[in-house]
Amino acid sequence: MISYQVIEHGRPLQKVLAENPRPQGSEVLVRVTRSGVCHSDLHIWEGYFELGGGKRFYVKDRGCVPPFTLGHEPFGIVEAVGPRVPKSLLGKKRLVHPWIGCGKCAICKAGQDNYCISGRRIPGVTRPGAYSTHILIPDPKYLVDASGIDESFAATLACSGVTAYSAIAKLPPLASGDRVAVIGCGGVGMAGISVLRAKGVKNIVACDIDAAKLDAAAKLGAKFTVNTKESDAAQQLQGIAGAIDFVGTPATAGLGIAALRNGGRYVLVGLHGGELTHPLPPIAQRAIGIVGSYVGNLAELKAVVALAKKGKLKPMPVETRPGSEANRALEDLNAGRVVGRVVLDFEALAATL
């Protein structure tokens, strides 16, 4: 197998050749055809998340120590299975649910793997990831049939799609005239607009500092756009029922929370970093909610895939590049040069093996 690995945080990934792992027990070996490039990959590559106030969260404290392979958005073909997995799965194309917990604790057994703290098995975080021709998945139950969906688009559903879906599920009940702000129109924000549209929300307000991203958001179905660099941005947003913050800075959080109508809800998804300080009484007096949302669970991924299969999810712009361009993809994402999502194609590299 060929993998692109972090050898040292912040340095270019290196191409590494190794033997294919052999699936044991209930494991499944997937030959990766597509692998999404995510903003979280940038943080993991750099080695930390900013917590604000000069504090950082280091990924090594969650067991993410170089050398390791990045990537948590794999789509591919089942190439080998462990002895406890039906052989009928061989050759099947599947999307991988990456937010895998220990599989044994009460939280995992309740289907909430993404909340597990006992031993997460996330590709590209605590296990070898998907910037690779092959990836080992612990159990076939984490494979989702996404047939009929474009492969590159399908890869994005396992992260940006399910993350957006889970965040939107945390909004308050919406009346037909209610406006919902999507703050940050990168890959996950764009998925958010798609899912909101699919769920029948009409008054979507796309917010960003980049005019090109706002144009793309409007094309995808946002009814209003607000450039948050403008001095009256807060005024334009005033009275929103919900804000989903896909950026996550003190400025975006402040903007979203201040603009909520009474009873509205601010959902934080983005991990850009910083600290929130907010007076307490107005949170009660305005009956607003401030809630975090982290990726999504397997049931939510299946729900997103079902929406996509029905043709209800308008695909965001997806650019497919050869897997060998993993470094350039990260650099472009880091420089804000990506509209929508970059997905790496590992098929050509696998053919060289």
Give dist(CA 66, CA 47) in Å, integer: 9
CB of 72 to Zn ion, least distance (A): 5
159/217 with CB nearer Zn ion? 159
Which one of the spans 2-10, 60-68, 95-103, 131-139 is the region binding Zn ion (CB under 5 A)?
Answer: 95-103
- Total residues binding Zn ion (CB under 5 A): 9
164/205 with CB nearer Zn ion? 164
73/79 with CB nearer Zn ion? 73
Give dist(CA 350, CA 305) in Å, integer: 26
Three-state SS for 333?
Answer: helix
116/226 with CB nearer Zn ion? 116
Which residues within the stretch 252-291 sit at the binding site for Zn ion (CB under 5 A)?
A: none
Output phi, psi for 125, to 5 deg. -125, -65
CB contact set of 87 (below 8 Å; sequence gap of 6+): 81
116/207 with CB nearer Zn ion? 116
CB of 254 to Zn ion, least distance (A): 25
- The angle formed by the CA atoms of residues 205, 210 and 214, to the nearest 5 degrees, is 35
As a residue count, the chain comes to 353
In terms of C-beta density within 10 A (0-12 exposed, 13-18 middle, 19 or more buried), how is residue 91 classed?
exposed
79/99 with CB nearer Zn ion? 99
**For the residues of 46-102, what is the DSSP string, one character each?**
HTEEEEETTEEEEGGGGT--SSEE----EEEEEEEE-TTS-GGGTT-EEEE------
CB atoms within 10 A of CB 197: 18
Which residues within the stretch 99-118 sit at the binding site for Zn ion (CB under 5 A)?
A: 101-102, 105, 108, 116, 118
Token pair for 86:
């039906």
206/343 with CB nearer Zn ion? 343
- Residue holding tokens 């007096």? 285
Give dist(CA 349, CA 107) in Å, integer: 38
Output phi, psi for 103, to 5 deg. 85, -5
Give dist(CA 342, CA 76) in Å, integer: 16
CB of 270 to Zn ion, least distance (A): 12
38/257 with CB nearer Zn ion? 38
CB of 27 closer than 8 Å to CB of 85: yes
CB of 73 to Zn ion, least distance (A): 6
Q: How far is CA 34 from CA 74, 131, 234, 259, in A?
A: 6, 9, 39, 39
108/226 with CB nearer Zn ion? 108
CB of 102 to Zn ion, least distance (A): 4
CB atoms within 10 A of CB 92: 15
Give residue number: closest CB to Zn ion: 38
Three-state SS for 168?
Answer: helix
Q: Show the site string, 121-160: x = touches Zn ion by CB under 5 A, - = not.
A: --------------------------------------x-
Q: How far is CA 338 from CA 16, 144, 213, 333, in A?
A: 26, 27, 9, 5
CB of 273 to Zn ion, least distance (A): 16
Token pair for 311:
């043709």
Q: Show the site string, 28-47: x = touches Zn ion by CB under 5 A, - = not.
A: ----------x-x-------
CB of 116 to Zn ion, least distance (A): 3
Q: Show the site string, 296-335: x = touches Zn ion by CB under 5 A, - = not.
A: ----------------------------------------
Q: Show the site string, 54-93: x = touches Zn ion by CB under 5 A, - = not.
A: ----------------------------------------
CB of 291 to Zn ion, least distance (A): 20
CB of 189 to Zn ion, least distance (A): 13
Residues that bind Zn ion (CB under 5 A): 38, 40, 101-102, 105, 108, 116, 118, 159
